[in-house]
Amino acid sequence: MRWIRKVVGVSLCAAIGFSSFAFGTSDKAEAATPKAEKILKTGKQYLGVKYRLGAPSGVTYAFDCSSFIQYIYKKNGISLPRTTRQQVTKGKKVSRGYLSKGDLVFFTGRSGRSIGHVGVYAGANRILHTYGKTGVTISSLGTSYWKNHYATARRVIL
């Protein structure tokens, strides 16, 4: 009788564990589209290119966050406005738990009040973006700065 309870208990724990695992993964992002992969590939070609606030549209010697996003999406057939404040109004809102490669990810600025930065979701909790002395880079969304300044995300690849 004891061994039946143990078997049932272990089976129940295993079932709960597997269903928890399944529920835990249900909010994972969808598979990346070929368009998203192309956009990321385009953006990665510019890793290390310097950051310059107000960099003009269409140049590749320097980018600010929104000119970088505008450039790599335009190279792949998607027109976006020039500024972060305009870009955040495009596409469809996506909750953080449902991010897919290619989604635009927005952050508040240092003030914490308004949208001040944009990057492209690169999968595995990372963003491809440009800022500061680093220039075009890939950063983890898990770092405290990006975690604390996360504002919203938009899907423009429809």
| Burial 107-133, CB ≥16 within 10 A → b, else e | bbeeeeeebbbbbbbbbeebbbbbbee
Q: Which long-range contacts (CB under 8 A, 24 or more apart) does 144-148 make?
A: 146/107
Catalytic residue chosen out of the listed positions 65, 72, 105, 128? 65
Residue holding tokens 């970088």? 68
> Known catalytic residue: 117?
yes
> Known catalytic residue: 149?
no
Distance in angstroms (rounded) separating the CA atoms of residues 120 and 131: 13
Catalytic residue chosen out of the listed positions 129, 131, 137, 141? 129
CA distances, 23 to each of 1, 18, 49, 80 (Å): 33, 9, 40, 35
Catalytic residue chosen out of the listed positions 69, 73, 117, 122? 117
Just list the catalytic residues: 65, 117, 129
